[in-house]
Amino acid sequence: MPCVSNKSLLRQVSSGLFMWYDKIKDTDPQIYEYIKSELARQQDGLEMIPSENFTSIAVMQASGSILTNKYSEGYPGRRYYGGNEFIDKIETLASERAKKLFKVPYANVQPYSGSPANLAVYFAICKPGDTIMGLDLTNGGHLTHGWKTSVTGQTFNSIPYHVKKDGMVDLEEVRKLAKDSKPKMIWVGYTAYPREFPFEEFSSIAEDTGAYLVADISHIAGLVAGGAHKSPVDYAHIVTTTTHKTLRGPRGAIIMVTEKGMKKDPDLGKKIDKTIIPGMQGGPHNHQTAAIAVALLEASQPSFKGYADQVVKNAKVLASSLMNNGITTVTNGTDTHLILIDLTPFGNGLGIFAEEALGAAGITVNKNTIPGEPSSPFYPSGIRLGTPALTTRGMKEAEMQEIGMLFAEVLNQIKDEKLPENKEEIQRHMERFRAEIKENPKIKEVRAKVLEISRRFPLYDEIELK
């Protein structure tokens, strides 16, 4: 079973994929051109947003299959529609593969994405107004973990916890907040936290307060599956994950209940099932379920362990390269696939400038808040980056050293930028900046180097859209 882990394995037979692209070209030339342009962008640049990855062609074929035609509300053997005998087999297989890979007794593979999956967990175990805890968004948490502008923060009594000045989770604060507020549920899981998740400590806090511990491992699911990060299964009651980040599958999600969760509430799986359908969703996306099954099979292969290990090795080397080249990182490094750069030594609110400048050089990252953000979530002072997609292309430590130096060259071009204090001026200033940075000689020089690196590690090089 092929598993995308290096450039030789990326060269898979794709005649079926060609067929679909040809049909799109005939039917909708405009969409075809956009797909063609996006393929070129991905092939000729460095995709370094840590929540993005490249799937295998097998996953893409399943995602684009005839399974999209079928309605299948309900669960295997309990559908509201006829003609689901093969869909039942596909969903059962996906669920069984998830249970085996993550070593859990229950898995629901129907959530459309990560946010709906997390919402389903809320409504399976909480009532509106119940107290919940999650990491503050500006400290690296996720919207659905109780942030004030999310429906989760508006529906439930959200008590956010934070990180310390060194960027590490403030476990003493978590313990005190949990003791004082007696939450029904505590989230452990982040979107911009570069260190290993402290599952054991959170488990102890949840036990002391009677809370459900829910581990959102969307970012690290592939690392957990490959043994490059500890598993939450012995510590949490429920585990949620997306399937398209380090797990390298389609855009979907899985909700899992652990043995510990079943002991706390033997009906927990049934409650989640009912919350998904009929509580929140209608027909599952069967093409997505099949693609999840394919990705789970790939993640169960021995080669995937090598991939997961290399993702972390690459991230550590990249973080070291960045710091050796004068770039500050939150927590001074990483344990995972993710790095958070702190741009405040250059100035506040420069994340948007860094994102634009790196993008002009062919390096895709995202602006992000840093702990103690001195600016705002709209104009933050950090950028978030990671190594999953680069590792899928076959890049290793030598490339990470090189890329770290390229980052420093680009970021040195923005260190004298200032974010206008007048909000009316920001848009005009950014328009001027975008135009100027594209013509910057150093940015053009880095862009040429990025193109050379990218072409040494071809992506889907058998797909050529003309």
245 is catalytic: yes
* Same domain membership, residue 136 and residue 241: yes
The reply to whether 238 and 313 lie within a common domain is: no
Residue 431 falls in the annotated catalytic set: no
For 363, phi then psi, to 5°, come to: -115, 120
| Separation in Å, CA 232 to CA 3, 71, 101, 188 | 24, 34, 13, 9
Per the residue annotation, which of 44, 73, 130, 462 is the catalytic one? 73
pLDDT in tens, the chain (466 residues): 334 444 433 444 444 566 678 889 999 999 999 999 999 999 999 999 999 999 999 999 999 999 999 999 999 999 999 999 999 999 999 999 999 999 999 999 999 999 999 999 999 999 999 999 999 999 999 999 999 999 999 999 999 999 999 999 999 999 999 999 999 999 999 999 999 999 999 999 999 999 999 999 999 999 999 999 999 999 999 999 999 999 999 999 999 999 999 999 999 999 999 999 999 999 999 999 999 999 999 999 999 999 999 999 999 999 999 999 999 999 999 999 999 999 999 999 999 999 999 999 999 999 999 999 999 989 999 999 999 999 999 999 999 999 999 999 999 999 999 999 888 899 999 999 999 999 999 999 999 999 999 999 998 865 666 6
Q: Contact 94/106 with Cβ under 8 angstroms?
A: no
Confidence (pTM)? 0.94
278 and 137 in a common domain: yes
Q: Please say which residue of 273, 299, 325 terminates a domain.
A: 299
Which of 70, 71, 164, 409 is catalytic? The answer is 71
Q: Which of 299, 318, 350 represents a domain boundary (last residue)? A: 299
Instruction: Tell me whether residue 298 is exposed, middle or buried, using C-beta atoms within 10 angstroms of its C-beta: 0 to 12, 13 to 18, 19 or more.
Output: buried
Same domain, 231 and 215: yes
Residues with Cβ within 8 Å of residue 196, at least 6 apart in sequence: 229, 230, 335, 336
CA angle (166, 334, 321) in 5-degree steps: 105
Residue 272 and residue 324 in one domain: no
Rounded CA-CA distance 338/336 in Å is: 6
**Considering the domain boundaries, does residue 402 fall inside one?**
yes
In the annotation, is 242 catalytic? Answer: yes
Query: Can 71 be counted among the known catalytic residues?
Result: yes
DSSP state of 145: G
Q: Are residues 168 and 252 in the same domain?
A: yes
Options 47, 91, 136, 216, the catalytic residue: 216
Which letter does DSSP use for residue 440 in this model? -
Strands 131-135 and 157-161: what pairing? Answer: parallel
Q: Per the residue annotation, which of 251, 313, 415, 449 is the catalytic one? A: 251
127 is catalytic: no
Domain-embedded: residue 58: no
Give me the domain span that covers residue 128: 66-299
